[in-house]
A and B are shown apart, each in its own frame.
Chain A
Amino acid sequence: MRSKFDEQLASLHKELITMGTLCENAIEMSANALDECNLTIAEEVSEYASQIDHKERDIEAMCMRLLLQQQPVAKDLRTISSALKMVTDMERIGDNSGDIAEIVSMEHIAATDDKLDIHRMAQATIKMVTDSIDAFVKNDVELAKSVIAYDDVVDQHFNRIKTELIGRLKNSEADGEYALDLLMIAKYFERMGDHAANIAEWVLFSILGHRAGHIQTKH
């Protein structure tokens, strides 16, 4: 009985890793699509987003089945409940990547446009997502904590881009549509950073048994 349960937990773990990889790819490709303003890549991102949606539903169903059939307690219960929460955050990351790709495909932003160094922000967010998945895969408490702390970096990027855009709009240097699109994209990246931090918190919860990660307050 237990061995079957262990097997199911292992396959849940595997599915979560796969979903994490899908998220990593999705966000990386959305950043690429943005960098190069490449519509083909943007289309692929939406493909990934729908794959991630599917995975989320699969994993949710799996968790529900485990909860009902095995009635887990203690650490097992923590593992499954944090998996349930994690897939929600992962799914949001996939959605946000898809949203960025959608903005790119509207073609309001050209490859040659000054993108206010949003590339660096994208890289910071990608690092957060990758690290949060790494922390989950390796059960690494320290890495999870560093991901939560790194959210500040992404937030700073967002604030920097926001102030800069405000300045440009005041001086009428920037086209309104372009400015708003860029702000939206920055916001999506910022949200993905928050989701990555959430994933890291759930990793901490599943290992330590309490949500130790409240280093900062979420908005």
Chain B
Amino acid sequence: MTKRIFRSICFVALGVFLASVILFMWVLYDYFSNTRQDQLKMQTELAAHAVANEGSGYFEGLDTTQYRITWIQSDGTVLYDSESDSDEMENHLEREEIQEAMRSGYGQSSRYSVTLMERALYSAKRLPDGSVLRLSVSQNTLLTLTLGMLQPIIIILIIAIVLSLVLASRLSKKIVEPLNRLNLEEPLSNDGYDELAPLLHRIDAQQKQIQQQSDQLMQKQQEFEAVTENMTEGIILLNPKGIVLEINRAAQRLFETDHSCLGQHILSVNRSLEISNLLLQAEQGRHADCMISLAGDRYQLLVSPVVSGDVVSGSVMLALNVTEKEKAEQMRREFTANVSHELKTPLHTIAGSAELLMNRMVQETDKMDFYTRIYGEAQRMIRLVEDIIRLSHLDENEIEMKREKTDLYALAGDTIDALSVEAERMHVTLTLDGEPAVVEGIPQLLQSIVYNLCDNAIKYNRESGSVSVTVKNRQDSVMLSVADTGIGISDEHKERIFERFYRVDKSRSKELGGTGLGLSIVKHAARLHNANIEMHSVMDGGTTITVTFPKMD
């Protein structure tokens, strides 16, 4: 800026200076030339007069330092010249001033010297005898004058340049200083000069816009982080080269890493071949997924390329925990297999017996036996189907059975009464202890909990064992416990006995006529009542199952 200001100041100064120099020179020089010419003319008049009177005598003793005097005959021959020998001089007839004087009595002209450094002024007068007297004087030309004044001119120029330099730097400083001191945070609070105002307004407007945009971005970022950080699924953003850009907490936990992996290649985090294959697919802009085992769980990894235009600009990797899903799927498969198997066994017996009866291959005395068997197996199937239906109801959570206040103690008493025949048959003593305890629940389900627990306790008991049912009020819960002196459950089975169709000893269960669904129904019914099931069992020492119901408000 300083440079430009300096240039313009300098330019103006020089321009003005040169113009005035030229003007002055021109005018003054013109004026002086005219005066000089007039003087010369007068001198010529005088000299002509004197020569006309005195003839060549006049030249003798004439002071010729100021002028050069030349006398020329009418044919152009030089008669006298004050500076050179007249005999050697050429004919002057062709000279402009002579011609003019011959013609009109007086003439003048000027000629520049070869170097242009001098100018000679001539003035000629025709004498009465026809000869011509010429006076000439030399004069400095404009150029000489200018050259003569070169020193002061240069000095003035230098002064002008220096002055404009100083001025320019001061001026630009003055212009720039408020600009440098601008408070860009609050543009409108600045007190610069007026010309700055539009700029400040524009900065202010832009600042507001930037603020707005950054707020928006920040909000988006926070939203994104809030969403991804709280996801249970692991999410990883990758750039096209596979460098990790973002990794959420779930994914960090999953890959056992932390934020230090940002900016590193995903293969440094986990280098399994499945992941490198996924990357290859994503690079080509294809969706891909794979199953992978991480930290003891099964995960499904999904990779989706982020495509902008035709270019893959990154990819998103999503890790879903499918352990539960796979387990559930496996259980469902097992359940189906079990159901068909359980239903098929009694059907075989029924069909076989019926076939024998139909073909009259059964003796009259044995027929009763066969009828009993068919009836028994059919009953078993009915129980099984009923249990399955009940379980599926419980699964669906669809049952709209009415919840009502039920005395668990009374309910247990009824159940024990109902089971007393069975108990007697197995030589097992059934006892009920405790106090009336009211829970809010579905009576049918509560009954099936007590029934199934007691039924199991009786079935899997030893000869002349005992089953004791206890119902007690606790501070904020109601406890139902069924303890037997039976065969007990070993640790390896404890986890699985609540699964459908799971049996510790398959041959024994069949003998006893169980469906394999009892404990499963207990589990689901308890869950519907928000009740907690605890099991304590010692091999050959008996099992105690305690169901704790939350007390109603």
- Chain A positions within 8 Å of B, measured between CB atoms, are 7, 10, 13-14, 17-18, 20-22, 25, 133, 137-138
A133 CB contacts on chain B under 8 angstroms: 271
Question: Which of B267, B271, B276 is packed against the most chain A CB atoms within 10 Å?
Answer: B271
Contact B268 A138 (CB under 8 A): yes
Contact A14 B242 (CB under 8 A): yes
Would you call B273 an interface residue if the criterion is a C-beta within 8 Å of the partner chain's C-beta atoms?
yes
Contact B271 A18 (CB under 8 A): yes
Contact A17 B271 (CB under 8 A): yes
| A130 to chain B: closest residue by CB | B271
Would you call B265 an interface residue if the criterion is a C-beta within 8 Å of the partner chain's C-beta atoms?
yes
B273 CB contacts on chain A under 8 angstroms: 18, 21-22, 25
Contact B241 A17 (CB under 8 A): no
Q: 18 pairs across A/B with beta carbons < 8 Å? A: A10-B241, A10-B265, A13-B265, A14-B242, A14-B265, A17-B265, A17-B267, A17-B271, A18-B267, A18-B276, A20-B271, A21-B267, A21-B271, A22-B273, A25-B273, A133-B271, A137-B267, A137-B271
B241 CB contacts on chain A under 8 angstroms: 7, 10
B242 CB contacts on chain A under 8 angstroms: 14
| B241 to chain A: closest residue by CB | A10
Would you call B507 an interface residue if the criterion is a C-beta within 8 Å of the partner chain's C-beta atoms?
no
CB-CB nearest 4 A-B residue pairs: A17-B267, A21-B271, A137-B268, A17-B271
B276 CB contacts on chain A under 8 angstroms: 18, 21
Q: How many whole Å from A34's CB to the nearest CB in chain B? A: 21
> How many residues of chain B have a CB within 8 Å of chain A?
9
Q: DSSP majority for the A interface? A: helix
B272 CB contacts on chain A under 8 angstroms: 21
Question: Which of B242, B265, B267, B272 is packed against the most chain A CB atoms within 10 Å?
Answer: B267
Q: How many whole Å from A49's CB to the nearest CB in chain B? A: 15
Q: How many whole Å from A10's CB to the nearest CB in chain B? A: 7
Interface string of B8-26 (1 = CB under 8 A from A): 0000000000000000000
B265 CB contacts on chain A under 8 angstroms: 10, 13-14, 17
Q: How many whole Å from B510's CB to the nearest CB in chain A? A: 34
Q: How many whole Å from B231's CB to the nearest CB in chain A? A: 27
A13 CB contacts on chain B under 8 angstroms: 265
Q: Bound complex: CA of A138 vs CA of B267, how far in Å? A: 11
Q: Bound complex: CA of A21 vs CA of B267, how far in Å? A: 10
Q: How many whole Å from B342's CB to the nearest CB in chain A? A: 34
Interface string of B250-278 (1 = CB under 8 A from A): 00000000000000010110011100100
A20 CB contacts on chain B under 8 angstroms: 271
A14 CB contacts on chain B under 8 angstroms: 242, 265, 267
Q: How many whole Å from A163's CB to the nearest CB in chain B? A: 37
Q: How many whole Å from A122's CB to the nearest CB in chain B? A: 20
Q: Bound complex: CA of A21 vs CA of B272, how far in Å? A: 6
For the A-B complex with A7-B241, A18-B271, A18-B273 known, give 10 more contacts whose Cβ atoms are closer than 8 Å.
A10-B241, A10-B265, A14-B242, A14-B267, A18-B276, A21-B267, A21-B272, A137-B267, A137-B271, A138-B268
Q: Bound complex: CA of A14 vs CA of B242, how far in Å? A: 10
A25 CB contacts on chain B under 8 angstroms: 273
B267 CB contacts on chain A under 8 angstroms: 14, 17-18, 21, 137
Interface string of B191-206 (1 = CB under 8 A from A): 0000000000000000
Q: How many whole Å from A81's CB to the nearest CB in chain B? A: 21
A10 CB contacts on chain B under 8 angstroms: 241, 265
Q: How many whole Å from B274's CB to the nearest CB in chain A? A: 10
Q: How many whole Å from A55's CB to the nearest CB in chain B? A: 12
A18 CB contacts on chain B under 8 angstroms: 267, 271, 273, 276
Q: Bound complex: CA of A49 vs CA of B114, how far in Å? A: 104
A17 CB contacts on chain B under 8 angstroms: 265, 267-268, 271
Question: Which of A18, A21, A138 is packed against the most chain B CB atoms within 10 Å?
Answer: A21
| Residues 92-132 of B contacting A (Cβ, < 8 Å) | none
A138 CB contacts on chain B under 8 angstroms: 268
| A48 to chain B: closest residue by CB | B273
| B269 to chain A: closest residue by CB | A137
Q: Bound complex: CA of A13 vs CA of B242, how far in Å? A: 12
| A133 to chain B: closest residue by CB | B271
Q: Bound complex: CA of A138 vs CA of B242, how far in Å? A: 16
Q: Bound complex: CA of A22 vs CA of B272, how far in Å? A: 9
Q: How many whole Å from A20's CB to the nearest CB in chain B? A: 7
Q: How many whole Å from B164's CB to the nearest CB in chain A? A: 48
Q: Bound complex: CA of A73 vs CA of B180, how far in Å? A: 46
Interface string of B231-254 (1 = CB under 8 A from A): 000000000011000000000000
| B275 to chain A: closest residue by CB | A21
Q: Bound complex: CA of A25 vs CA of B268, how far in Å? A: 16
Q: Bound complex: CA of A90 vs CA of B276, how far in Å? A: 18
B271 CB contacts on chain A under 8 angstroms: 17-18, 20-21, 133, 137
Q: How many whole Å from B293's CB to the nearest CB in chain A? A: 13
Question: Which of A20, A133, A137 is packed against the most chain B CB atoms within 10 Å?
Answer: A137
Q: How many whole Å from A19's CB to the nearest CB in chain B? A: 10
Q: How many whole Å from A164's CB to the nearest CB in chain B? A: 34
A22 CB contacts on chain B under 8 angstroms: 273
